[in-house]
Structure 1
Amino acid sequence: MTATPPEPPDPRLLPVRRHVEHADTDASGVMHFARYPALLEVALLANLERLGVGLGVLAREGYDLVITEATTRYRAPARYPDELSLRPVVGHLGAARARVDTTIQRAADGAELAIGSLVVALTDRVTGAPRALLPALHAALKESRSDVRR
């Protein structure tokens, strides 16, 4: 009897679920505006890890992942203890940078709470010099482009 090889991971960027924690909120239970960019990063990093090109892999190859731009548009407040659905898509992919656009929704009713983008690039871990995207990272993001918004 031969073993069946494991299925490769779904190449798309998949939604990530997170709860609004009490520490994320102000005194009225509304999530602080500064927490939204961190959620964009959570969605990106969870997917990179799942696709086999997470921070540990990049570090072993001599790269640091850096965020060169972050934008967020707020639509409605997230509140403690909402469960959030973070839905990332590859919005742009170049040789040296990628933009990942993420919609943050309340999981219970699908209400759009915020949309945001992170532009990421790589730098050399030793010198800090900019580098082209690692081929494995570029390939993983290219494969995910089926979700690009038009």
Structure 2
Amino acid sequence: MRRRIEHVDTDASGVVHFSRHVSLMETAVLELLEEHGAGPAALAGHGVELAITELRVRYHRSCAYRDVVLGEPVVEHVGGARFRTRVTLFRLDAGRARTDLTTGELVFAAVDHGLGRAVPLPPAVRQTLKGLAAHADLHAAPREPATGRTTPFQGAGLLRAQAMVAAPAPDDLYRPDPRP
């Protein structure tokens, strides 16, 4: 995903509001899913929609009006009714250099459109998501066995070492209240 920050994305000082980072991360994931035929349009045909059930965000740097932001989403894990993604937002600087802005983890659940309850992912969509996760695994940075943290890594894959951070402390975890 590539977006230029518009005036509507910023606060009075011209800096992007923190909540807009989450929206950009979600957009990056949904664009990836749509591109592979596993997004909201494909799910709607099955009477299924997506709901975010977990969100973790780590802010590294701010961005401002007219900055170009890149979003790189990766499917990390696929279950029966849920899947976990990791997204990194970068600012594209002069000379095509990238500055890390935000890293985050979004967990999506398949929800019955009419009932609002979790349902299994449609088999074709689940298979596509598993393929995306397998592709991401091929390009992932190696992890240390004892800690699970990434080891130094240089390369051109979907994941970059600086995009992968240790899991945030429980204080950083936001879990929306369940709705009736």
| SS at structure 1 position matched to 2:37 | coil
Counterpart among 24, 28, 31 of residue 43 in structure 1:
28
Structure 1 runs of 4+ aligned residues shifted over 3 Å read none
Within 5 Å, which residues of 2 pair with 1:1-150? Answer: 16-108=1-93, 109-145=97-133, 146-148=135-137, 149=140, 150=143
- What amino acid is aligned across from residue 112 of structure 2 in structure 1? D
Q: CA deviation at 1:46?
A: 0.7
Corresponding position of 1:8: none
* Greater relative CO (CA pairs within 8 A, separation 6+): 1
Per-residue Cα deviation, 1:29-66 (whole angstroms, up to 9, x for no partner)? 11000101101110111111111122122112110111
Q: SS in structure 2 opposite 1:26?
A: coil
Q: Higher mean Cα deviation, 139-148 or 37-46?
A: 139-148
Matched positions, count: 135
> Contact (CA 8 Å) 2:38, 2:129: kept in 1 or not?
no
Where in structure 1 are there 5+ consecutive unaligned residues? 1-15
Distance in 1 between the 2:32 and 2:91 partners? 19
Amino acid at match of 1:114: T
Q: Which has the higher strand share?
A: 1
TM-score normalized by the length of structure 1: 0.84
